[in-house]
Amino acid sequence: MASNSPEYNFSEIESNWQQYWEDRKTFATSSKTSKEKYYVLSMFPYPSGTGLHIGHPLGYTGADILARYQRARGKNVLHPIGWDAFGLPTEQYAIKTGRHPRQTSIERIAHFRNQLRSVGFSYDYDREVDTTDSNYYRWTQFIFLQLFKRGLAYVDKRPVWWCEELKTVLANEEVIDGRSERGNYPVVRRSLRQWVLRITAYAERLLEDLKDINWPESTKKMQLEWIGKSVGATACFALDGFDETIEIYTTRPDTLLGATYMVLSPEHPLVPKITSEDNRDAVSKYIESAAAKSDLERTDLAKDKTGVFTGSFALHPLTGDKIPVWIADYVLISYGTGAIMAVPAHDTRDFEFAEQFNLPIVQVIKGDGTESLPYIGDGTLINSDEYNGLSWQEAKKKITTKLKEAGSGEESTQYKLRDWLFSRQRYWGEPFPVAWVSREDYDKAVESGDLADWLPKEPVAYTDESGTLYALPVPPKSLPLELPNVESYEPAGTGESPLKKADDWMEIWYQFETGEFLPARQEKPEGEKWIRASRETNTMPQWAGSCWYYLRYMDPKNSTQLASKEALEYWKTPDMYIGGSEHAVLHLLYSRFWHKVLFDEGLVPNKEPFSHLFHQGMLLGEDGKKISKSAGNGIDPVEVVNQYGADTLRLYLMFLGPLEARKPWNSKGIGGINRFLNKTWREIVGRDGNLSPKIRDDHQESEETEILLNQTIEKVSQDLDKLSFNTAISQLMILINHLHASDAFRLTTAKKFVQLLAPMAPHISEELWSRLGESHSVAWGPWPDVDNSKLVSDEVKIVFQVNGKFRGQSLIPKSSTEEDVLAIAKKEPRVIAQIEGKTIRKVVFVPGKILNIVAN
């Protein structure tokens, strides 16, 4: 394989070895082995038009080093790659260029694969997955049917974020400050029919199981806050003059007697009913203005409080006092009950509101007496009748009990987590595997028993102007339900997906047992089980395909299961998952949710998908700013590969600092890494292209070299175990500098050095390994062992003193006795000079340190 050129010709070496790996399938993962497994997963890329970003090889190199290291240690390593290829940008591009997104996806994937290949990642390319491949998304649809049958998928008309520019609905998470995350376009509220996944049913488990996983604390905290568990109580306030009551949710029932007014969210269903004639105009205007704001804007503490009085009053459940009912947009319809009791003395928003509108403020919790209002700390109750003097915790319990006894309240737990809006009005996504049918036909299908295992307890139904339709699951054995071709991908702008235009796919004759279908414009086929149906126009969001891809890698070609039981039992979940912290919440939360559903279904053996998670830090531009097109501070990894080689890029990215740190690119440092590789080359390859004459097998290795080599093996192993790649590289630099300064070293020393370098700089290492006389790839190890007996020297430095003064020192075997040391000291000229003609009175020996001779 290796040439015998004396030069370090990186581009030739790198392309040769990449070809070698590909031809011999060096990194193909075996599925039949008794070896211990190691599964290292990188977050798979979205194959964007712009190609590889410098952030990709950063995290990917870290994962690749682990993969190569564990492979060399003898593990059966799974290190896969794939493509998260559905999504809006591809569709946008198709609209712009008039080319099918399938075509552009294929091209982009090929481009990405080539770029990744040029960096020398040890992927098993035979296990590639592509979320847009129907052999893949058939299982995405299959998992959807699991959710569907468990009642975890439903359809609802929802106020959703609509982006006029992108002509699509966005999830809450895709909206930042009232603008789309992608493209930064304005968004508005609009009510549309949507599929929704009941992730809230898993809120408690998603919270609870965070305890068992080894993730960065900051990421766990973000999930915790996103789920947002809060424990409080509900309480009912009767309305003066109406039969209805207002139910509120509070975390502070202890402050019940400080409630001086109530607030309903503008969207609250009681608003129209209780608004008096005089206030009707003002209320309608207010509702309209609130609709245009995002939740974030509405609850922002810094914003001026706005609101209007409804003209109605509620009755306090304990005192019977009449308190006014207002509406204000700082109360959200989506949280708790959409209504609050306002306690201005102890809540900042209520306080600002009360001040603004001159509403009474009654303090009911007393601190140490120096507090000012609003006071949100703890203390004892005042102005609260029978509860005066109680601590706030006690009062919380007692008042909740009192409400419960009166039948007007109870303990209640709330989560900030909302159900997951799971549909998009787009073409380039997974079709929903359902058929919309009439009640009559739905019942017919139910009675046939054909779909018995796949029907939810409650049918999923949707009613609009033209009536009610029922969602029938397509039989899983008929999957995939393929995305039809359409001529134009342009969204209709009405909230309908472009799929609406695929008439023969949309309006069909449908066989509910087999899933077969024919265009509705044709004649109805013969047979009991053929019914009239419509397809779902929406497609799934991009999150769907990335929710479970780590499972498919275990058994990517399986055509009867999403992965075989054996593969799932063997690989379980990734031993390490590396990716950016921008996925701290959404992708990682959605995946956990789906995984738990699969676990409940007995399809996967573990409760959690990712036991170990690591975030690579953000790489900044040379100017220290976030890399962006507009800042023009981007770094093209492929250019670096062309100019310096993949090994230099890899080492350099790892040497910039700890992998998890946020750090700027610094092109000056590349030269240093390049010199390190050149020096390594020069130490091993001679000027004539043969081995360097310094490498000699008859050479007696110095103790210093032996020790440094073993220390390096130990340090590099420990560093790779903890993903501390920069320090591992430093240690290798120390060793090569030492070898450089030595006259000669043994062949085995050179080989061990190359083995240690190989995970980080694999191409040059393969080349050197082969020149050192090895005929198989260095990738398969073995990883060098530390010789513990050679970790530390067995000699020790002893200082000689005469009458307490330094008179020389020497390296002496550790096992030496006092007499041995004294004998050596007596040969030291400076010692001789001091004791000549004198009598030795005493010798003080501190083993391993000092020998002091007292003489006069």
Other Cβ atoms within 10 Å of 704 Cβ, number:
11
380 binds ligand ANZ (CB under 6 A): no
The answer to whether 127 touches 83, Cβ cutoff 8 Å, is no
Tell me the closest approach of the beta carbon of residue 402 to ligand ANZ, in angstroms.
16
| Cα–Cα–Cα angle for 538, 541, 547, rounded to 5 degrees | 135
Answer for the pair 47, 105: CB distance below 8 angstroms, yes or no: yes
Q: How far is the CB of 295 from ligand ANZ (least distance, A)?
A: 9
DSSP assigned state of 83: E
Tell which one of 193, 198, 316, 346 touches ligand ANZ (CB under 6 A): 346
Compare residues 219 and 250 and give the one whose CB is closer to ligand ANZ. Answer: 250
Min CB(292)–ligand ANZ separation in Å:
18
The per-residue b/e assignment along 447-473, b for 16 or more CB within 10 angstroms, e otherwise, is eeebbeebbbeeebebeeeeeebbbbb
Closer by beta carbon to ligand ANZ, 257 or else 331: 331
Q: Quote the strand ranges of 12-118, DSSP E.
A: 37-42, 76-78, 82-83
Helix, strand, coil % (nearest 5) of the chain? 40, 20, 40
Smallest gap from residue 331 Cβ to ligand ANZ (A): 4
Residue at 662: amino acid letter:
R
Residue 47 or residue 336: which is nearer to ligand ANZ going by CB? 336
Q: Does 403 sit near ligand ANZ (CB under 6 A)? A: no
**Span 311-340, contacts to ligand ANZ by CB under 6 A:** 331-332, 335-336, 338, 340
- Long-range contacts (CB closer than 8 Å, 24 or more residues apart) made by 496-501: 496/425, 496/537, 497/424, 497/425, 497/426, 497/427, 497/537, 497/538, 497/539, 498/426, 498/427, 499/427, 499/431, 499/535, 499/537, 499/538, 499/539, 500/537
Please state the closest distance from residue 351 (CB atom) to ligand ANZ, in A: 9
We find the least distance from the C-beta atom of residue 218 to ligand ANZ, in angstroms, to be 20
Of 815, 805, 785, the residue nearest 73 (C-alpha): 785
Nearest distance, CB of residue 225 and ligand ANZ, angstroms: 10
If one asks whether residue 354 binds ligand ANZ (CB under 6 A), the answer comes out as no
Nearer to ligand ANZ, 58 or 331 (CB): 331
Window contacting ligand ANZ (CB under 6 A); options: 249-257, 270-278, 708-716, 751-759: 249-257
Residue 692 near residue 740 (C-beta atoms within 8 A)? no
Which one, 332 or 747, has the nearer CB to ligand ANZ? Answer: 332
CB of 357 to ligand ANZ, least distance (A): 17
Decide whether 340 or 604 has the Cβ nearer to ligand ANZ: 340
Evaluate whether 333 touches 268 at the Cβ level (below 8 Å): yes
Q: How far is CA 76 from the centre of its chain?
A: 25
Q: Which stretch binds ligand ANZ (CB under 6 A): 88-96, 99-107, 342-350, 456-464?
A: 342-350
Q: Please, which residue, 103 or 348, has the CB nearer to ligand ANZ?
A: 348
Distance CA(110)–CA(112), nearest Å, equals: 5
The DSSP line for 58-69 is HHHHHHHHHHHH
User: For ligand ANZ, which residue of 172, 230, 534, 564 counts as binding (CB under 6 A)?
Assistant: 230
- Of 250-258, 400-408, 492-500, 726-734, which segment contacts ligand ANZ by CB under 6 A? 250-258
Distances (CA, A) of 206 to 172, 418, 549, 578: 19, 13, 20, 20
Q: How far is CA 486 from CA 133, 498, 824, in A?
A: 17, 8, 93
The closest of 198, 194, 210, 209 to 159, measured between CA atoms, is 194
250 near ligand ANZ, rule: CB under 6 A: yes
Please state, in angstroms and rounded to a whole number, the distance separating the CA atoms of residues 684 and 113: 33
**Cα–Cα dist 29/788, whole Å:** 33
Which CB sits closer to ligand ANZ, 268 or 596? 268
255 binds ligand ANZ (CB under 6 A): yes
Q: Where are the alpha helices (DSSP H) in 264-330?
A: 271-274, 280-291, 295-299
Looking at the Cβ atoms of 251 and 803, the one nearer to ligand ANZ is 251
- Residue 270: CB minimum distance to ligand ANZ, A: 14
Pick one of 127, 252, 501, 592: the residue that binds ligand ANZ (CB under 6 A): 252
Least distance (Å) between residue 265 CB and ligand ANZ = 6
Structural tokens at position 475: 């039989």
Q: How far is the CB of 399 from ligand ANZ (least distance, A)?
A: 11
Q: What angle do CA 479, 485, 488 make, to 5 degrees?
A: 145
Distance in Å, CB of 36 to ligand ANZ, minimum: 46
What binding mask, one character per residue, do residues 407-436 give for ligand ANZ by CB under 6 A, x or -?
A: -------x----------------------
Distance set, CA 483 to CA 93, 141, 476, 539 (Å): 18, 12, 16, 9
Q: What angle do CA 794, 795, 796 make, to 5 degrees?
A: 125
Closest distance between ligand ANZ and the C-beta of residue 347, in Å? Answer: 4
Considering the complex, what minimum distance in angstroms separates the CB of residue 162 from ligand ANZ? 23
Beta carbon of residue 334, minimum distance to ligand ANZ (angstroms, whole number): 7
Task: Please give the structure tokens belonging to residue 719.
Answer: 């560093």
Say whether residue 344 binds ligand ANZ (CB under 6 A).
no
Interaction between residue 59 and ligand ANZ (CB under 6 A): no
Question: Whose Cβ is closer to ligand ANZ: residue 225's or residue 820's?
Answer: 225
DSSP letter for 385, please. Answer: G
Nearer to ligand ANZ, 338 or 617 (CB): 338
In angstroms and rounded to an integer, the radius of gyration of the C-alpha atoms of the chain is 36
Q: Pick from 64, 128, 329, 347 the residue near ligand ANZ by CB under 6 A.
A: 347
Minimum distance from residue 251 beta carbon to ligand ANZ (Å): 4
Q: Whole-number minimum distance, CB 332 to ligand ANZ, in Å?
A: 4
Q: Which of 135, 172, 245, 251 binds ligand ANZ (CB under 6 A)?
A: 251
> Which residue stretch of 14-22, 244-252, 270-278, 786-794 sits at the interface with ligand ANZ (rule: CB under 6 A)?
244-252
Provide the token pair at 131: 């979320």
Q: Does 341 bind ligand ANZ (CB under 6 A)?
A: yes
Strand extents, DSSP E, 258-360: 261-264, 308-315, 322-327, 339-342
Counting every residue written for the chain, the total comes to 856
Q: Cα–Cα distances in Å, from 811 out to 799, 816, 852?
A: 9, 11, 16
Q: Which tokens sit at 282?
A: 């003002």
Kindly tell me which of 362 and 518 has the beta carbon lying closer to ligand ANZ.
362
Question: With respect to ligand ANZ, which residue has the nearer C-beta, 251 or 809?
Answer: 251
Among 137, 161, 249, 261, binds ligand ANZ (CB under 6 A): 249
Contact 153, 144 (CB under 8 A): yes
The least CB distance from residue 386 to ligand ANZ, in Å, is: 19
Q: Which is closer to ligand ANZ, CB of 356 or CB of 463? A: 356
- Choose the binding region for ligand ANZ from 31-39, 251-259, 483-491, 773-781 (rule: CB under 6 A): 251-259
Of 138-146, 246-254, 444-452, 721-729: span binding ligand ANZ (CB under 6 A): 246-254
Q: Helix (H, G, I), strand (E, B), or coil: what is residue 793?
A: coil
Residue 159 or 484 having the CB closest to ligand ANZ: 159
Number of residues that bind ligand ANZ (CB under 6 A): 18
Name the residues that contact ligand ANZ, by CB under 6 A. 230, 249-252, 255, 265, 331-332, 335-336, 338, 340-341, 343, 346-347, 414
